[in-house]
């Protein structure tokens, strides 16, 4: 079984490998990531995950299992994507400080004519952060390519008071659900 990851994310590649699904090929998606107004965070990540997978599928080969995903951080219904710059990252971290928010990861898996689409939502609570803590974290450079301006698997772990849900989903791919979905799609 050939597995194609439709993402350049090293975190997603690492998660798949940990789950015993090491990708045979990485084909980053060139899909339009414009978000439609009025969608919930769950609808947004599923729509984007499917777009990404469908854009890669023709290049992957008919029998390949294509796995694509998208992750957003949401405070209520406000979606916090990747920060545009340092000021935007500071704004996001200030918004999240001392609060609970949700991380949504949408996953699209396809092989031949079969497909599955789902999302995972995990609640994350931040400690109350000082401006100095935020600035120190921004100085690491870590927040700038991550939804919500933090990475739980890196230095951003000190921001997090607790999580309720799937740790790997917060990193960008719910490992156990993906493993089971790939097994199911292969046995159809």
Catalytic positions: 70
List the beta strands (DSSP E) in 22-167.
25-26, 65-75, 78-80, 100-111, 114-126, 160-164
CA 175 to each of CA 41, 131, 158: distance values in angstroms, whole numbers, following the listed order? 20, 34, 23
Q: Is 59 exposed, middle or buried (0-12, 13-18, 19+ CB in 10 A)?
A: middle
Cα end-to-end span (Å), the chain: 14
d(CA 40, CA 99): 20
Q: Are strands 65-75 and 3-5 parallel, antiparallel or unpaired?
A: parallel
* Residue keyed to tokens 């015993």: 20
> In 3-state terms, what secondary structure has residue 124?
strand
């Amino acid at each position: 079984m050939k597995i194609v990851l439709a993402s350049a994310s090293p975190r997603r590649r690492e998660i798949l490998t940990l789950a015993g699904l090491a990708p045979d090929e990485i084909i980053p998606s060139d899909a339009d990531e414009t978000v439609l107004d009025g969608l919930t965070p769950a609808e947004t990540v599923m729509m984007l995950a499917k777009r990404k997978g469908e854009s890669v599928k023709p290049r992957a080969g008919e029998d390949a299992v294509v796995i694509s995903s998208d992750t957003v951080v949401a405070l209520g219904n406000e979606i916090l994507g990747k920060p545009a710059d340092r000021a935007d990252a500071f704004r996001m971290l200030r918004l999240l400080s001392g609060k609970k928010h949700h991380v949504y990861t949408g996953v699209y898996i396809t092989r031949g004519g079969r497909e599955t689409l789902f999302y995972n939502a995990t609640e994350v609570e931040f400690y109350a952060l000082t401006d100095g803590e935020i600035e120190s974290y921004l100085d690491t450079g870590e927040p700038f390519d991550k939804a919500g301006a933090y990475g739980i698997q890196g230095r951003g772990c000190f921001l997090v008071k607790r999580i309720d849900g799937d740790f790997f989903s917060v990193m960008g791919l719910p490992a156990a659900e993906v493993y089971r979905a790939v097994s199911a799609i292969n046995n159809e």
